[in-house]
Copies of this chain bind each other. A is one copy, B any other.
Amino acid sequence: MENTPIKPQINNNNLDKGYSLLALLQIINIVLYSQFTQYGMDSLGTGSNTQSNTITTYYPFFKDVHVMIFVGFGFLMTFLHKYSFSSIGFNFLLACLSLQYSILINGFFHNLFEDHWENITLDIQSLITGDFAAGTILISFGAILGKVDGWALIIMTLFELVFYAINESIGVIKYKAVDMGGSMYVHTFGAFFGLAVSYINHSSTKHRNSNFVSTKNSDLFAMIGTLFLWIYWPSFNGALASGNSQHRVVINTVLALSNSCIFAFISSKLLRKKNKFNMVDIQNATLSGGVAVGSSADLVIGPYASLIIGAVAGTWSVIGYTYISPLLEKRFGIYDTCGVLNLHGMPGIIGGLGGFISSATASKNLYGENLGIIFEGISDGRSNVDQGLYQLAALGTTLGISIGGGLITGLIVKKANKDIEYGEDKENWHEV
Q: Are B304 and A37 in contact (CB under 8 A)?
A: yes
Q: Are B247 and A124 in contact (CB under 8 A)?
A: yes
Q: Is A212 close to B, CB under 8 A?
A: no
When all copies of this chain in the complex are counted, the total is 3
What separation, in Å, do the CA atoms of A321 and B99 have in the docked complex?
27
Q: Is A228 close to B, CB under 8 A?
A: yes
Q: Is A335 close to B, CB under 8 A?
A: no
Q: Is the interface of A mostly helix, strand, loop or mixed?
A: helix
Chain B residues whose C-beta falls within 8 Å of the C-beta of A38 in the assembled complex? 302-303
Q: Are A248 and B368 in contact (CB under 8 A)?
A: no
Q: Are B247 and A54 in contact (CB under 8 A)?
A: yes
Chain B residues whose C-beta falls within 8 Å of the C-beta of A71 in the assembled complex? 224, 227-228, 231
Q: Is A417 close to B, CB under 8 A?
A: no
Contact of A223 among B81, B88, B266 (CB under 8 A): B88
21 interchain pairs, CB-CB under 8 A: A14-B275, A19-B266, A19-B269, A29-B307, A30-B307, A34-B302, A45-B371, A46-B369, A49-B373, A53-B247, A56-B57, A70-B231, A71-B224, A71-B227, A89-B282, A92-B286, A99-B258, A100-B307, A124-B247, A220-B221, A277-B429
Q: Is A64 close to B, CB under 8 A?
A: yes
Q: How many interface residues does chain A have, given as a range?
A: 35 or more
Chain B residues whose C-beta falls within 8 Å of the C-beta of A261 in the assembled complex? 92-93, 96
Q: Are A227 and B30 in contact (CB under 8 A)?
A: no
Chain B residues whose C-beta falls within 8 Å of the C-beta of A323 in the assembled complex? none
Contact of A48 among B54, B127, B244 (CB under 8 A): B244
* 5 pairs of A and B residues whose beta carbons are closest in the complex: A47-B244, A49-B243, A34-B304, A46-B368, A43-B247
Q: Are B428 and A276 in contact (CB under 8 A)?
A: yes
Q: Are B243 and A93 in contact (CB under 8 A)?
A: no
Q: Is A74 close to B, CB under 8 A?
A: yes
What separation, in Å, do the CA atoms of A302 and B156 have in the docked complex?
29
Contact of A244 among B43, B308, B311 (CB under 8 A): B43
Q: Are B67 and A231 in contact (CB under 8 A)?
A: yes
Q: Are B217 and A217 in contact (CB under 8 A)?
A: yes
Q: Are B432 and A85 in contact (CB under 8 A)?
A: no
Q: Are B44 and A251 in contact (CB under 8 A)?
A: no
The smallest C-beta distance from A122 to any residue of chain B, in angstroms, reads 5
Q: Are A231 and B34 in contact (CB under 8 A)?
A: no
Known: A45-B366, A47-B244, A96-B259; 13 extra A-B contacts, CB below 8 A, are A14-B275, A19-B266, A30-B308, A34-B302, A44-B244, A59-B234, A59-B246, A63-B232, A99-B258, A224-B224, A276-B429, A279-B429, A279-B430
Q: Are B13 and A49 in contact (CB under 8 A)?
A: no
Q: Are A368 and B45 in contact (CB under 8 A)?
A: yes
Q: Are A432 and B51 in contact (CB under 8 A)?
A: no
Q: Are A300 and B370 in contact (CB under 8 A)?
A: no
Q: Is A50 close to B, CB under 8 A?
A: yes
Q: Are B97 and A251 in contact (CB under 8 A)?
A: no
Chain B residues whose C-beta falls within 8 Å of the C-beta of A50 in the assembled complex? 243
The smallest C-beta distance from A16 to any residue of chain B, in angstroms, reads 6
Contact flag A265-B19 (CB < 8 Å), given A33-B304, A99-B258: yes
What separation, in Å, do the CA atoms of A228 and B72 have in the docked complex?
11
Q: Is A376 close to B, CB under 8 A?
A: no
Q: Is A202 close to B, CB under 8 A?
A: no
Q: Is A296 close to B, CB under 8 A?
A: no
Contact flag A46-B244 (CB < 8 Å), given A19-B266, A276-B428, A303-B38: yes
Contact flag A22-B216 (CB < 8 Å), given A244-B45, A277-B89: no
Chain B residues whose C-beta falls within 8 Å of the C-beta of A14 in the assembled complex? 269, 274-276
The smallest C-beta distance from A55 to any residue of chain B, in angstroms, reads 4
Q: Are A55 and B250 in contact (CB under 8 A)?
A: yes
Contact of A277 among B78, B85, B245, B246 (CB under 8 A): B85
Residues 22-45 (chain A) with a chain B CB within 8 angstroms: 22-23, 26, 29-31, 33-34, 37-39, 42-45
Chain B residues whose C-beta falls within 8 Å of the C-beta of A53 in the assembled complex? 242-244, 246-247
Contact of A60 among B60, B263, B367 (CB under 8 A): B60
What separation, in Å, do the CA atoms of A223 and B74 have in the docked complex?
10
Q: Is A391 close to B, CB under 8 A?
A: no
